[in-house]
Amino acid sequence: MPTAQEILKQYFGYDSFRPGQDELVQAILSGRDTLGIMPTGAGKSICYQVPALALPGLTLVISPLISLMKDQVGALNEAGVPAACINSALSFEEMRDALYFAGRGEYKLLYVAPERLTAPFFLDFARRVPISMVTVDEAHCISQWGQDFRPSYLKILDFLASLPQRPLVSAFTATATAEVRDDIIRALGLEDPFVITTGFDRPNLYFAVEKPSSKPSALLAHLLQRRDKSGIVYCSTRKTVEEVCDMLLSRGLPATRYHAGLDPEERLANQDDFLYDRKTIMVATNAFGMGIDKSNVSFVIHYNMPKNMESYYQEAGRAGRDGEAADCILLYNGQDVRTAEFLIEHSHENDDDSIDEKTRRALIERDMERLRQMTSYATTTDCLRRYILNYFGEKAPVCCGHCGNCDTNFEEVDATMDARKILSCVYRLDERRLHFGKTVVAAVLTGSKIEQIGRFSLHTLSTYGIMSEQTAVRVRQLIDVLLERGLLTADPERYNALFLTKTGNALMRGRGELHIRLPREKKPETVRRT
Ligand code: ADP
Ligand code: ZN
C-alpha cells in the first residue's frame, strides 16, 4: 500500500504537501469527516484526490460546475488516475458506460452534479457499489447564507442516508464565515469533523491602508512610482471608473477601463490591452477579474473600500500571482463607508421575487455586519495580514513585519530581558506544580491583585511584580510572541496553561537573545529600543 506521500509523488509529481494539505489527508485516512476551507488555488483537489487513491472503494465528488468537472477528470486521466463524470451534458450512452465501468470498480473517482444524486438510476448504482468517500466541492452552496445557494445541495444528506453504509464525508470550500461553516457541518451531517482553514496567506503580498486627504493625488503618486509595472485600480462605481481613468489619461498614463456599462466589444478590447501589456493600468469595477489570470499584476490599488473582506481579499489577491513581490493598497475615507451602506440598503431588491421582506432585512443586516468588519480592517492599527487571516479563520502571528501597519505602528524591541522574566515566572510556578494561562501569569508579573494571587499565595513568588512598570496587556502580547516563537507552549487540554519548552529554558538561562516587533506603546519609556 503506497503512502499518501508516495501517491502525491507518483500521480501528481509533487515532492511535498503544502501546509494544511497533509493534515486534511491524514484526517481523512484516519476515518474522520473533514471540512477544508481553502482559497482558490491553494490546492484543495489534492486533499481528496490523494485519499481517494488510497481508500479501497470509489470516491464520489459532488461538484456544481460541469466545466470544472471536465477539467478535473481530464487532468486526472492524464496523470493516470481512472476517473469519470456524470452530468447533464452526457448522452444516455455515455452515462450508461460511465456507470457500467464505475460499477466494475474501474474508477477511483466519479464526479457527479448534485442534481443527479437522487435520480433513481443513480441511487440504484450508488447502493450497489462500495463507496468509500463522498466529497462535496464548493460546499458553501449548501448554505442559504452563502453567496451561491444551490437547493440541490440539500439533497446530499438524503442521498447519504439512503446508502447501505455511510461513507466518509469530506467537504471543501473557499469561503466560509462562521455561519456558513456551521450550516455546512449541519446540512451535510458531518460527524465530529476535522475542520481546518489554511492557505489564505500570500506572503509575497504587501498590504497597506492609507487615508489620504486627496485620493487622486495619492493614486497618482503611487502610479508614478510604479511606471514600468502593471496593476489594477478598483473603484466602487462605473462613474468613478470613468473619472479616474480620464484623470490618468490626461496625465499621460497608459490606463484603460472596464465596467459593466461598456459595450461588450470595448470591454473585451480593453481587457486584452491590459492582458497583453499594451496598457499597464486597468481602472475597473469589481466586474473585472473573474476568470482572468494575469500573473504579473504587481499592484492592486482600491480607490474605494469594497463592501466586505471577501471581495477585498479576492480582488487584492489578483496581485502577485507569479509569486513576485506585489502591493495591495487600500485608499480609505469615511465617504466609502456611506457609499457602501447606501449600496447595501438598496441591494437584494430585485434578487428574486420569492424573497420576503424579513429575509431581505436579514440579508441586509448580514451585509452591514460584513461592512463593519471591512471598515475595521481599514481603521485598525494592528497587523493587517493578521487581521485578514483571522477574519478567514486562520491563525497568524501578532506582527507579520510586512504590511503598512507593521511598518509604522510596530517597532523592533530587544525583548530578551522581558522574555527571561516571563519564562522565569512560568518556571517558578511549575516548581510549585502550578500551571496557569497567560492572564494569571501576566497578573503575577505585573503584581496585580486578582483573586488567584491570594488563593495560591502567588505574591510570595520571587517573580511577583517584576514587570510592574508594564501593563498586563503588554505582558500578554509578549507571552503571545513567546508562544509563537516556541519558547512557551500552551496546553489546550488544561485551559491553555503555559509550559516552558527546551528553547524557552535555554533563553531563561541566558543563552540567546530575543528581538521582536511589537505594537508601539503610548508610554515609550517602558520599552527598551534597540
Ligand atoms: P483549488 O482547487 O484549491 O483552487 P487546485 O487544487 O486547482 O486548487 O490547485 C492549485 C494549483 O496548485 C494546481 O496547479 C496544483 O497542481 C498546485 N498544487 C496543489 N498542491 C500542490 C503541492 N503539494 N505542491 C505543488 N503544487 C501543488
Ligand atoms: Zn503586518
Spatial CA neighbour of 219 closest among 334, 330, 381, 375 = 330
**Ligand 1 centroid distance, CA of 18 (Å):** 9
**Ligand 1 centroid distance, CA of 8 (Å):** 11
**Ligand 1 centroid distance, CA of 486 (Å):** 30
Take residue 124 and report the three cell numbers written for it: 440504484
Q: Is the CB of 44 under 6 A from ligand 1?
A: yes
Q: Is the CB of 526 under 6 A from ligand 1?
A: no
Q: Which residue's CA is the nearest one to ligand 1's atom 21?
A: 43
pLDDT at residue number 147: 66
Spatial CA neighbour of 156 closest among 177, 167, 195 = 167
pLDDT at residue number 525: 44
User: Closest ligand to 385 CA?
Assistant: 2
Spatial CA neighbour of 219 closest among 155, 147, 300, 150 = 300
pLDDT at residue number 524: 45
Take residue 156 and report the three cell numbers written for it: 446530499
Q: Is the CB of 19 under 6 A from ligand 1?
A: no
**Ligand 2 centroid distance, CA of 405 (Å):** 6
**Ligand 1 centroid distance, CA of 43 (Å):** 3
Q: Is the CB of 172 under 6 A from ligand 1?
A: no
Which atom of ligand 1 lies closest to the CA of 42?
3
Q: Is the CB of 41 under 6 A from ligand 1?
A: yes
Q: Which residue's CA is the nearest one to ligand 1's atom 19?
A: 43
Which residue carries 496585580 as its cell? 448
User: Closest ligand to 384 CA?
Assistant: 2
Which atom of ligand 1 lies closest to the CA of 8?
23
DSSP code, position 289: -
Reported as a single tens digit per residue, the pLDDT across 343-369 is: 899 887 765 566 788 888 888 998 999
CB-based contacts of 363, cutoff 8 Å, min separation 6: 347, 348, 355
11, 16, 45, best to mutate for ligand 1 pocket (most atoms within 8 Å of CB): 45
Q: Which residue's CA is the nearest one to ligand 1's atom 2?
A: 44
Q: Is the CB of 18 under 6 A from ligand 1?
A: yes
Name the CA radius of gyration of the chain, rounded.
27
User: Closest ligand to 380 CA?
Assistant: 2
How far apart, in whole angstroms, are the C-alpha atoms of residue 512 and residue 367?
49
Cβ atoms of residues 378 and 316 within 8 Å: no
**Ligand 2 centroid distance, CA of 482 (Å):** 17
Q: Which residue's CA is the nearest one to ligand 1's atom 15?
A: 43
User: Closest ligand to 403 CA?
Assistant: 2
**Ligand 1 centroid distance, CA of 203 (Å):** 17
Q: Which residue's CA is the nearest one to ligand 1's atom 13?
A: 43
Q: Is the CB of 14 under 6 A from ligand 1?
A: yes
**Ligand 1 centroid distance, CA of 412 (Å):** 36
User: Closest ligand to 201 CA?
Assistant: 2
| 223: helix, strand or coil | helix
User: Cβ–Cβ contacts within 10 Å for residue 202, how many?
Assistant: 22
Q: Is the CB of 11 under 6 A from ligand 1?
A: no
DSSP string, 419-478: HHHHHHHHHHHHHTT----HHHHHHHHTT---HHHHHTTGGGSTTTTTTTTS-HHHHHHH
Enumerate residue ranges in the chain where pLDDT < 70: 145-147, 350-354, 521-530
Cα–Cα distance list, 254 to 233, 247, 279 (Å): 13, 11, 5
Given the DSSP bridges, would you call strands 281-284 and 255-258 parallel, antiparallel or unpaired? parallel
**Ligand 1 centroid distance, CA of 40 (Å):** 9
Take residue 267 and report the three cell numbers written for it: 470591454
Q: Is the CB of 46 under 6 A from ligand 1?
A: yes
Take residue 296 and report the three cell numbers written for it: 504579473
**Ligand 2 centroid distance, CA of 398 (Å):** 8
Reported as a single tens digit per residue, the pLDDT across 304-330 is: 999 999 899 999 999 998 999 999 999
Of the chain, the percentage scoring pLDDT greater than 70 comes to: 96
**Ligand 2 centroid distance, CA of 301 (Å):** 18
Element (H, E) at 392: none
